[in-house]
């Protein structure tokens, strides 16, 4: 090899690609788990809101009956 040669060797590039692959293998599952947890929390909050709307409709405008989604939204 020439002493003044500039650039990276193939081995150096392979090591960098391997390191990036290892970091991605660690980070991606954590990212997906966080996204799933956020979606589950959002779904639980939506169910709580629906339950509250259903109870309000039942006690005020439902005359002892539970309403449909349309009826609860319009009440």
Whose tokens are 């509250």? That residue is 52
- Residues 30, 31, 36, 42: is their CA dihedral positive or negative? positive
In a domain, 27, yes or no: no
The model's confidence at residue 54, banded by pLDDT at 50, 70 and 90, is confident
pLDDT attached to residue 1: 54
Is the pLDDT reported for residue 65 higher than 60? yes
Number of domains in the chain: 1
Q: What is the pLDDT of residues 23-45, one digit of tens each?
A: 999 999 999 999 999 999 999 99
In a domain, 7, yes or no: no
Q: The pTM is what?
A: 0.58
pLDDT attached to residue 45: 97
In a domain, 39, yes or no: no
Radius of gyration of the chain from its Cα atoms, rounded to whole angstroms: 28
Q: Residue 70 belongs to what H/E stretch? A: helix 69-74
Domain coverage including residue 67: 44-75
In a domain, 63, yes or no: yes
């Amino acid at each position: 090899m020439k002493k003044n040669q500039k650039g990276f060797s193939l081995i150096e590039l392979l090591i960098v690609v391997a390191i990036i692959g290892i970091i991605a293998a660690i980070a991606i599952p954590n990212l997906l788990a966080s996204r799933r947890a956020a979606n589950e929390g959002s779904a639980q909050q939506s169910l709580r809101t629906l339950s509250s709307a259903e109870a309000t409709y039942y006690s005020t405008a439902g005359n002892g009956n539970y309403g449909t989604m349309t009826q609860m939204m319009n009440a």
